[in-house]
Copies of this chain bind each other. A is one copy, B any other.
Amino acid sequence: MNRIITISREFGSGGRELGKRLSEAMGIAYYDREIITAIAEKSHLAQSYVQSISEKGTYVYPIHYGRTFSFRPVNQDNQAKVLVAQQQILQELAETSDCVIVGRCADVILHDYHPLNLFVYADMASKLIRCREKAFCDEALSEKAMEKKIRQVDAGRAHYRQLLADSKWDAKENYQLCINTSGTVIKNLIPPILSYANCWFGEALQ
């Protein structure tokens, strides 16, 4: 069976960078946004539309009414199309070669492939700094608006997981290792995580 590492991550925690660097250190494939392109091709839907469904589930984005908010629903057929295409693509990737997959609830979808599941998180101050540095958010956003965006993205991820599993997205019980990146330099985390992954796949841990 191929070595599959899934990375779930809070927005701004550096999970994507960690996944990319880990895949390079291990010399294995890395999949993130490539999955969206593949789903869009398979389902004949626009990439931006697929991106929204693929990470947030039944809702496209929250709409605010004063201090309350509601959600704009997605066409149910399209949602099903995206979910089915995503499942097929993730399984194809898992069967093709060793890989690191970021997001998309790959830990749930690929459960039978016995992946190593990592969760990457950080405190809000660190996430704000990273978002600002990496320009993940619109640079004109105020600190408060940026924090709101971070919470909204993570709420979307949590919601998407609830569509696929009973377990909570950010519950440590669903992961073998939870890594707090607050105040850390991501690239320096790679040697210990690589050591952990090698132990895991060498079955030294089991």
Residues of A near any B CB (own CB < 8 A): 119, 121, 123, 172-173, 175-180, 182-185, 188-189, 191-193, 195-196, 199, 204-206
CA of A178 to CA of B119, assembled, Å: 10
23 contacts between A and B (CB under 8 A): A119-B172, A121-B172, A172-B180, A175-B178, A176-B180, A176-B182, A177-B177, A177-B180, A184-B205, A184-B206, A185-B204, A185-B205, A185-B206, A188-B199, A188-B204, A188-B205, A189-B205, A191-B195, A191-B199, A192-B195, A192-B196, A195-B195, A196-B196
A117 to chain B minimum Cβ distance, whole angstroms, is 9
Kindly list chain B residues whose C-beta atoms are within 8 Å of the C-beta of A196: 189, 192, 196
CA distance A195 to B198 in the complex (A): 13
Distance in Å: Cβ of A193 to nearest Cβ of chain B: 8
User: What chain B residues lie within 8 Å of A195 (beta carbons)?
Assistant: 191-192, 195
For the complex, give the distance between the alpha carbons of A206 and B183 in Å.
6
Task: Please measure, in the bound complex, the distance between the C-alpha atom of A176 and the C-alpha atom of B121, giving whole angstroms.
Answer: 10
Distance (Å) between the CB of A10 and the closest chain B CB? Answer: 10
Q: Give, as a whole number of angstroms, the nearest-CB distance from A181 to chain B.
A: 9
* B179 in contact with A177 (CB, 8 Å): yes
Closest 7 A/B residue pairs (Cβ): A192-B196, A178-B178, A192-B195, A188-B204, A184-B205, A195-B195, A176-B180
Q: How far is the CB of A115 from chain B (nearest CB, A)?
A: 13
Question: Considering the chains assembled together, what is the distance between the CA atoms of A179 and B180 in angstroms?
Answer: 11
- CB pair B206–A199 under 8 Å, yes or no, is no
Chain B residues with CB below 8 A from A204, complex form? 185, 188
Contact of A199 among B182, B192, B199 (CB under 8 A): B192
List of B residues within 8 angstroms of A176 by Cβ: 180, 182
